[in-house]
A and B are shown apart, each in its own frame.
Chain A
Amino acid sequence: MIVLEHVSKRYALGGETLTVLADISFTVEEGEFVALLGPSGSGKSTLMHILGCLDMPTEGRYCLSGVDVTKEAPRRLAHIRNQKIGFVFQNFHLLPRISALQNVELPMIYAHLSRAARRARAEELLELVGLSNRLRHLPTELSGGQKQRVAIARALANHPQLLLADEPTGALDSETSREIMELFRELNQTGVTVLVITHDANVAAYAARQIRLIDGRVVGEEELRGRS
């Protein structure tokens, strides 16, 4: 599913170049559940943005389902993001002026789903994350954990093949974290490839494999248990 070959990301900052990701190569098979670990500033979010076709590597190749996305046109990338990838961002990134329901509908609007179909699917997803009593609430009227769950519901809207979650349990208590991770596990069992960025060892424990990142380099991969 994911093949990274010698991927680097550098920023030019006033004459100096800052290397955020250095020569990263790894592969994630379809249906895997992977945790990405590393200290703050190690480049986890940057890597996730590249994996999600939002950002481009400075060097190297990234193939998603056999397609070299570094060579794709912006229009195709938008389509890939819409159809194949579900994002849960570190800071949720919900649109502040529309309701939870409408936020979840957004990816389906760009997928040209009918109004009724969108509405039904969004309600179903919000029920799945336990928010069926908060459909009309604005993001500002929701708690951090509730926002996170709206973001997860939105990520699942178009039945993505790849779910990318950046600290999806960062704002949640241990009980809710467990529920969310169980949800991810269920999704993974239906065939969705899941990649979770986390600091939390309990969260990482759900993953079959861990990839550790320090200063933009992969320092170790660890198989936790057999692939399911």
Chain B
Amino acid sequence: MDVREMMFTALLSMRTHALRSILTMLGILIGVASIIAIVAVGNGGKAAIVSTLESSRLQNTIEILPKELVVPGLPQPGQVLSISANDLNLVRQFHGVTVVNPLYFGQVEVTAGARSANLNLEGGPYFLPDLARFTILHGHMFTPLDVLGHRNVAVLSVGAASQLFGTTHVLGQTVTVGGQPLDIVGISASTEPSILNGILGGGAVYVPNTTLEDIFPNWTASEMAVGVVPGTSVSQLARRLVTALNIHAHSAQAFEDSSGFLAGIEKLVGTVTSILTLVIGSIASIALIVGGVGVMNIMLVSVTERTQEIGIRMSLGASRAAILVQFLMESMFITMTGGFLGILLGAAIAFGVHLATHLPMQVSWQVMVLSFLFSAVIGLICGIYPANKASKQNPIEALRYE
């Protein structure tokens, strides 16, 4: 019996019991659809986070920071927590380095008139918006001259302004940090992608790093932004700088440049999405198993219902193998159709999620092929017992079966 003929027979028996077949393949369909949708949304989210992190890298700038600062926990041996003046000077001596700007982060009490709030204070160069990812809504960013001149100016985030003043129209007013009044020259808004905004957002006050050094002389820098002569290989220089700093700190684990830092975050994001995918994936496989059992059940019913057909086919010369293959094909036909429709539904769900939430999605063809093959395998496994039962019928008893 050739394959085409069997496909025809399988299709015919599926069409004869259309509703039953659809209900049977529902389990497989839902299982496959949820796997496809979850992987699509998970991969898409991961790719989006990674690409926004990648795009945050500045041209001709190397960010160097103490290693593993993002992952909270006990400091490991050889780990440094901040950047010293010596480190900054060391980097300044390198060929290809134009300027080294320390970046400071800390939490301080900021007052404005009668009100005060605990806010993030960040000190850095005039291109801090690029490093810390914000834009200026009102006013302007502090200028290179402000930095050089140790001027007492500040940029407030929208959050900080509303906490301190209840409004964002505060240009020209002053805030006091560590006893030093600062003129507000600009209001900023975060440009972090929406996913990260909630985690990293909040009230922040940005000041020139020179000003911050004046107010808090004993703060240590937690990061440095190294300007590079255009045309220099950034990644090579970054490696050399990190190596030199590590030797200086007598530890191979002291510093990393932001590409390493990004890699760390990417790994973390990857781990989180993998765990999520695994958890929801195993729930989906339960649907697949239940679906498989349903297919097996329906195939057993079908074999019993068609006992006479089996007898007739045998009397006309069908071998046991031909009967076995026929019923295997049928069960695989059901699960593969379910798998195929599941892939379509899963992709549609992922697209729907994308439209509704603007989360990116990435339907992976490997997962599609894999789930299609998997649904074929389920059909095979769940079809073996009923098909074997069909092929072992005694022809004459099957013929007489009413």
A93 to B319, CA, bound (A): 18
Check if B314 is an interface residue, CB within 8 A of chain A: yes
Which of A52, A74, A109 is close to B315, meaning CB atoms less than 8 Å apart? A52
A93 to B314, CA, bound (A): 12
- The answer on a CB contact under 8 Å between A109 and B5 is yes
CB within 8 Å for A75 and B2 given contacts A49-B396, A54-B315, A54-B395: no
Check if A78 is an interface residue, CB within 8 A of chain B: yes
Chain A positions within 8 Å of B315 at CB level: 52, 54, 81, 87, 89, 93
Which of A52, A78, A83 is close to B319, meaning CB atoms less than 8 Å apart? A78
- The answer on a CB contact under 8 Å between A97 and B16 is yes
CB within 8 Å for A82 and B317 given contacts A54-B395, A95-B312, A97-B12: yes
- The answer on a CB contact under 8 Å between B320 and A109 is no
Check if B22 is an interface residue, CB within 8 A of chain A: no
Q: Count residues of chain B with CB under 8 A from any CB of chain A.
A: 24
- The answer on a CB contact under 8 Å between A79 and B319 is yes
Check if A171 is an interface residue, CB within 8 A of chain B: no
- The answer on a CB contact under 8 Å between B396 and A109 is no
A71 to B4, CA, bound (A): 34
**Between A and B, how many residue pairs show CB distances below 8 Å?**
68
Chain A positions within 8 Å of B321 at CB level: 75
- The answer on a CB contact under 8 Å between A107 and B317 is yes
- The answer on a CB contact under 8 Å between B399 and A81 is no
Q: Count residues of chain A with CB under 8 A from any CB of chain B.
A: 27
Report A81 CB to chain B, min CB distance, Å: 5
By beta carbon, the residue of chain B nearest A93 is B312
- The answer on a CB contact under 8 Å between B316 and A82 is yes
Which of A94, A111, A115 is close to B317, meaning CB atoms less than 8 Å apart? A111
Check if B214 is an interface residue, CB within 8 A of chain A: no
CB within 8 Å for A109 and B2 given contacts A54-B395, A55-B396, A93-B308: yes
Check if B353 is an interface residue, CB within 8 A of chain A: no
A115 to B1, CA, bound (A): 11
- The answer on a CB contact under 8 Å between B317 and A79 is yes
A107 to B322, CA, bound (A): 12
By beta carbon, the residue of chain B nearest A46 is B396
CB within 8 Å for A81 and B317 given contacts A93-B399, A98-B12, A109-B1: yes
CB within 8 Å for A78 and B320 given contacts A54-B315, A109-B2: yes
Check if A112 is an interface residue, CB within 8 A of chain B: yes
Tell me which residues from 58 to 97 in chain A have a Cβ below 8 Å from any Cβ of chain B: 74-75, 78-79, 81-83, 87, 89, 93-95, 97
Chain A positions within 8 Å of B12 at CB level: 97-98
- The answer on a CB contact under 8 Å between A74 and B399 is no
A-B contact pairs, 25 of them (CB 8 A): A54-B399, A75-B319, A75-B320, A75-B321, A78-B314, A78-B318, A78-B322, A79-B317, A79-B319, A81-B314, A82-B316, A87-B315, A87-B316, A93-B308, A93-B399, A95-B309, A95-B312, A95-B313, A97-B12, A107-B317, A109-B1, A109-B2, A110-B319, A111-B317, A112-B2
Residues of A whose CB lies within 8 Å of any CB of B are 49, 52, 54-55, 74-75, 78-79, 81-83, 87, 89, 93-95, 97-98, 106-107, 109-112, 115, 154, 158
Additional 4 contacts, C-beta under 8 A, given A81-B314, A93-B399, A115-B4: A79-B317, A81-B317, A93-B308, A93-B312
